[in-house]
Amino acid sequence: MRKTIRWTGLAALLALAACTPQTQLLLALMPDGVVPIMLSHLEGVSDGNRQRLADFERRGDWEGLARFAEENLAQDKSNADWWTMAGYAYSRLERYPRAVECYAETVRLAPDDITGWHLLAQAYRSAGQPERAVNTLSNALNVRQDAPVTFFLLGESYGDIGRLQHALDAYQQALRLNLDLAPAWLGMGRVYLRLGRLTEAAEAVKVLERLDPRMASELKGAPGWR
């Protein structure tokens, strides 16, 4: 049976990239060195092709990586790993509609891989379709309800569309599953600020000062902080 890639995404979420908020989270779900990780799961790939993939990422040649992934998909459209690789390349290129198409195929072919759902939801957010991100993550909960990242991303997506109480509920569920998930504390603190609940926001800052001082400073610099 062909192996399917499974990343937790938790560690990477704590090292957000320096770009737009949606792109930050999308790329954070794909850790640095993702190509070598993926190569360890790809079967039937020659050593030469493995080296080419690693070279694309090392050079930051996302156009080359996208073309190479598409070439392999032309030969085998049933390979979820290549769809993920293509989605990753298009995400790096900020060509989100195509990234959505690729990640949607990943989900269709490997519905039990929760990371595929996360990546698809983030691609929707980056494409300016947060409602679809909410729907995607709600569907992901039919697959698994024990992944804190799913609830965290649901909180982010609800925040995008102004459903703040739903966002709080989702962040709180994420923290029930992983109390040390710093991005969830940050997201929850931001929602508290939007609601004018400064005492709760200050409590989130205290937790973040222990978990991630950079995020604590970010929350204290958010609109609404006293």
DSSP 221: T
Q: Where are the domains of the chain?
A: 16-129, 145-226
CA separation for the pair 59, 5 (Å, rounded): 23
CA separation for the pair 159, 82 (Å, rounded): 32
Contact of 148 with 174, CB cutoff 8 Å = yes
CB atoms within 10 A of CB 183: 26
Q: What is the pTM of this model?
A: 0.82
Number of Cα atoms under 13 Å in the Cβ half of residue 36: 5
Question: Would you write out the chain's pLDDT as a tens digit for each of its 226 residues?
Answer: 333 333 333 333 323 333 444 445 555 554 445 555 555 555 555 677 777 877 887 888 999 999 999 999 999 999 888 898 899 889 889 999 999 999 999 999 999 988 889 989 999 999 999 999 999 999 999 999 999 999 999 999 999 999 999 999 999 999 999 999 999 999 999 999 999 999 999 999 999 999 999 999 999 999 999 7
Give the chain's radius of gyration (CA, Å): 18
145-226, CATH topology level: 1.25.40
78: buried, middle or exposed (CB in 10 Å: 19+, 13-18, 0-12)? Answer: exposed
In this chain, the answer to whether the domains covering 16-129 and 145-226 adopt an identical fold is yes
16-129: in CATH 1.25.40.10: yes
Q: What is the largest CA-CA distance in the chain?
A: 58
